Structure 1
Amino acid sequence: MGFQQGLSGLNASAKNLDVIGHNIANSNTTGFKSSRTEFAAMVASAVGTAGGINSGIGVEVGAIAQQFNQGNLTVTGNSLDVAINGNGFFTLQMPDGSRGYTRDGSFKLDTFGNVVTNSGAKVMGYPTDPDTGLRTSSTASPLTFPTSAPIPAKQTTKISAAFNLDARAPDAAGNPAATPPVPATPRSTYGTSINVYDSQGVATAVNLYFEKTANPNEWNVYDSLDPAAPSRGTITFDGDGKITGPAPTPPATGFQLPLQIDPSLNNPNAGPTAPNAPNPFTVTLSLDNVTQFGTKFAVSELTQDGYTSGQLTGINIGDDGVILTRYSNGVTRAEGQVVLASFRNTQGLAAMGGNTWVETYESGQPTFGAPTDGNFGSLRAGALEDSNVDLTAELVNMMTAQRAYQANAQTIKTQDQVMSTLVNLR
């Protein structure tokens, strides 16, 4: 009798409708990956009957296969929304401490500054050097930002300068005996200024003035307009206008000039009578890009590496996963790099709900890396990956599954009529 075949067909069709309904229900779920039902025929066999006639005993669901093709990217404008364009999964530390994976990049910041998913899982990343953005470790850890307290102040250690000193400038002392007389050049003629920061983040202005000496291609450096102030060093040039001094003190490289900074000039907490006061410190003036050409004095770069404390004001995630944070003190620095995971067999991943998967024996162990490295995809900040469900196709599949269910029910009805006919034989 064919009741078994019809019943298996009903079960398989019902399972297919469950899968289609699940896909349709998640057609707007961020990062969702659709599934499809794969059927397999069931055949009863016995030893020695390989050449016989076997009509089969129905159908079974061979597998429910996930489809990990790329979903469309929708721009949201939210800086913490991140989409993966290509291969890879975001790596998560689940609330129970286990590891999970997702394509849903709708991240949030919790009260402790952790980057988390909607289900509370922490997003993993590599630590980076704040200044260069280069990875400092290959061990991933939860990404955390200083939201509960400002970043501490950083004392200035280096000033980078790029400027040109006018090769036509006369001796600053002047020459009243010359015809016509050459007046003295005010020290402020060639000068510039920049703020540096002590260990408490208090700014102190550093003034730099340059005076041409009587020696060719030589300039003295001062930090005060006081005529009695001593020179802080001498800059020398060759005949092509390229800098030749001051020579660096080993093991330093490049042309550098040390400047002594007294924080008590601006910081009321500094000074010899203040307990635990910020100490005077040395700032290195880098002069590698200083020239002496026959054009006007002009400063093209004057930067320093210190800053006062600052609150987090913005976050930007690059294509390579490096997270740049902006602070109220004007500082932008790298706070980490998003880590991605890939698998040899993505269809072997087990779905756990909440847009997350976990690894299984079938998926294999994950391979970790940074976005754009190797076969990993790139990130798109301010965007989310849509569900890859094709709603039109799912509606057509649903109609087909419905017809298959009705047809299997009809076979049971027909078998029932046949059996009724046999029972009623006289």
Structure 2
Amino acid sequence: MSFFTSLSGLKAAQTDLNVVSNNVANSNSTGFKKSRALFGDLFAAAPTQSTKTVAGQGVRLTGIAQQFTQGTLQATDKTLDLAIAGDGFFSVKGQPPRQDLNFTRNGAFSVNSNREVVDTTGAKAQLLPVDANGVITSNAIGDMYDFVLPDTDPADPAALLSNISINKEGVVSATFSNGNQMNIGAIAMASFTAVEGLRPVGDAHWQATGDSGPPQVNQAANGPLGQVRSGALELANVDITEELVSLIAAQRNFQANAQAIETSNTLTQTIINLQV
């Protein structure tokens, strides 16, 4: 039995090493959230057996939990580089035909050939409609629309777009060559009841699940969503020093379980030799 107990320990240590290695590998990934492996003990006994005389049977992986703590904000001075000072997520929609709705903390947005504002995966940033004062008029998911930069002033086709600004509430304002200003919309932000239940899909993107609950969409600076910081990006929330300590601990755990298997093998071989 000690072979299987130590084997479960080896597998647990290997999983822990994999999780820590993934954290270290993504220490420079924008918007990345580190993870932590969670373990539980295995125990079994017959109904009539005293548990005081039964040893545990090893360890099992109970889950890998993501840590959605705030990462450091780094200034970039690029208007479409957005960071979130809070717990919200940017809402982005994939390209056709799927157009799946994802949520991300990676605010490295840029403009494509269709003047659509997209993230590093090509997913389109989503806006909520606003009034002249920059207050949203609807927070329904069905009312979100793609963030597209206008070519000209709708009231004056001869006036070209000259500047874009995004305030802390996520309101996108366009300034044209004739001096006119227009609110294009507000960055669609989302929060979740159980953020740990989100399903990661890579590139610092997540999708809603039954465990996370449906997205609660609103304008920035409402509830837990936090504020938008234009001209900045959120770095990974990975502390290299902390991860190296965890790496050493996982390595020692692996070595200890390997030594336990070797010791059990030696004892078994000794017993076999005695019987011979």
TM more than 0.5: yes
Cα distance per residue 1:39-71 (max 9 Å; x no partner) = 111112222225441111111111111000111
Partner of 2:12: 12
Contact 2:89 2:225 in 1 (8 A): no
- Give secondary structure in 2 for the equivalent of 1:375: helix
Partner of 2:129: 127
**Alpha-carbon distance, 1:396 to partner:** 0.5
Give 5+ residue unaligned stretches, structure 2.
none
Give runs of aligned pairs for residues 70-149 of structure 1, distance below 5 A.
Answer: 70-95=70-95, 96-129=98-131, 131-138=132-139, 139-146=143-150, 149=151
Contact 2:90 2:189 in 1 (8 A): yes
Contact 1:89 1:101 in 2 (8 A): yes
* Cα distance between partner residues in 2 of 1:308 and 1:37: 57
Contact 1:308 1:329 in 2 (8 A): no
1:400 lines up with 2:275 in the alignment: no
Q: Which has the larger helix fraction? A: 2
Q: Which amino acid aligns with 1:394?
A: E
Partner of 2:231: 382
Q: Which amino acid aligns with 1:133?
A: G
Contact 1:71 1:385 in 2 (8 A): yes
* Cα distance between partner residues in 2 of 1:357 and 1:87: 14
* Cα distance between partner residues in 1 of 2:136 and 2:67: 33
Q: Percent identity?
A: 39
Q: Which amino acid aligns with 1:127?
A: P
- What is the TM-score of this pair, normalised by structure 1? 0.61
**Alpha-carbon distance, 1:136 to partner:** 4.0
**Alpha-carbon distance, 1:5 to partner:** 0.9
Cα distance per residue 1:198-242 (max 9 Å; x no partner) = xxxxxxxxxxxxxxxxxxxxxxxxxxxxxxxxxxxxxxxxxxxxx
Contact 1:349 1:357 in 2 (8 A): yes
* Cα distance between partner residues in 2 of 1:116 and 1:328: 24
Q: Structure 1 pair 50/100, CA: closer, same or farther in 2 (3 Å)?
A: farther
Cα distance per residue 1:266-324 (max 9 Å; x no partner) = xxxxxxxxxxxxxxxxxxxxxxxxxxxxxxxxxxxxxxxxx562222221110001001
Cα distance per residue 1:167-224 (max 9 Å; x no partner) = xxxxxxxxxxxxxxxxxxxxxxxxxxxxxxxxxxxxxxxxxxxxxxxxxxxxxxxxxx
**Alpha-carbon distance, 1:109 to partner:** 1.0
Partner of 1:373: 222
- Give secondary structure in 1 for the equivalent of 2:11: helix
**Alpha-carbon distance, 1:77 to partner:** 0.3
Partner of 2:165: 316
* Cα distance between partner residues in 2 of 1:83 and 1:132: 23
* Cα distance between partner residues in 2 of 1:134 and 1:117: 25
Partner of 1:200: none
Q: Which amino acid aligns with 2:225?
A: F
Give runs of aligned pairs for residues 191-270 of structure 1, distance below 5 A.
Answer: none
**Alpha-carbon distance, 1:374 to partner:** 2.6
1:351 lines up with 2:200 in the alignment: yes
Partner of 1:45: 45
Contact 2:82 2:108 in 1 (8 A): yes
Contact 2:70 2:237 in 1 (8 A): yes
Contact 2:172 2:183 in 1 (8 A): yes
Contact 1:133 1:333 in 2 (8 A): no
Q: Structure 1 pair 50/343, CA: closer, same or farther in 2 (3 Å)?
A: farther
Partner of 2:65: 65
- Give secondary structure in 1 for the equivalent of 2:152: coil
* Cα distance between partner residues in 1 of 2:57 and 2:134: 63
Partner of 2:271: 422
Pick the structure with greater CA Rg.
1
Q: Which amino acid aligns with 1:141?
A: Y
- Give secondary structure in 2 for the equivalent of 1:310: strand
Partner of 2:261: 412
Q: Structure 1 pair 106/37, CA: closer, same or farther in 2 (3 Å)?
A: same
Contact 2:195 2:212 in 1 (8 A): yes
Q: How many residues align?
A: 270
* Cα distance between partner residues in 1 of 2:247 and 2:179: 56
